[in-house]
Amino acid sequence: MDNIALNQWRDKLGLPFSGIREAKLQLSMLEAKYERLSSEARQLLDSYNDMVRNKTSPVYLHRASSNTSKILKWRLSGSKLFNFGDKARSYALLTPEVLGLLKSVLDDDPTLLQKIVEFDFKRTHLNYALSYTFSEAKRLESYIEEFEVWRKLPSLVNSL
């Protein structure tokens, strides 16, 4: 096997790393970034909860228990005050129907609606960053595992 030719071919692919050591370093950086983003999601959730602590809010932020593509989701309040019994539990906030519904129940507090929309902006971007980082880390883990098996191939072939 011509390792030099194989490495030159690999380098033409434009991967964000040039070898297994750099791939492992990239993985550790992605894992650290995911932890930082997860912490930021917890802070955003706590910040929203602090903002609505003494208020009855028609919506609340919810953190999914799994590593889904949407870590933070909006949920409708279970309060009988809003009569959301027949509405979906988890939904997209920025639709005319939902914004109209929120506006109608927040007539006495228009600044809360503005703050909710600002939280949704942050939630949307944070979900994307978390999802992207998580999936990149998983793909890189898979690559590293396959590469480690490939590295052992010459000794496996020679032992046959």
pLDDT digit string, tens, across residues 98-148: 788 778 877 778 888 888 899 999 999 999 999 999 999 999 999 999 988
pLDDT of residue 74: 87
Is position 155 within any domain?
A: no
DSSP secondary structure letters along 45-111: HHHHHHHTTTS--SEEEEE-SS--S-SEEEEE---TTTT-TTS-SEE-SSSHHHHHHHHHHTTT-HH
Number of domains in the chain: 1
Is position 36 within any domain?
A: no
Is position 92 within any domain?
A: yes
What are 32-41's pLDDT values in tens digits? 999 999 999 9
Is position 2 within any domain?
A: no
**C-alpha 36 chain-centroid distance:** 11
What does the block give as tokens for 79?
């309060």
Does the structure show a pLDDT above 60 at 87? Answer: no
End-to-end CA distance of the chain: give it in Å, rounded. 16
The dihedrals phi and psi of 24, each to the nearest 5 degrees, come to -65, -40
pLDDT of residue 93: 80
Is position 24 within any domain?
A: no
Range of the domain at 108: 41-144
pTM of the model: 0.80
Is position 139 within any domain?
A: yes
- Residue position matching structure tokens 């930021």: 40
Contacts of 87 (CB under 8 A, 6+ apart): 76
pLDDT of residue 128: 95
Does the structure show a pLDDT above 70 at 155? Answer: no
Is position 82 within any domain?
A: yes
Contacts of 75 (CB under 8 A, 6+ apart): 59, 60, 61, 62, 89, 90
Is position 64 within any domain?
A: yes
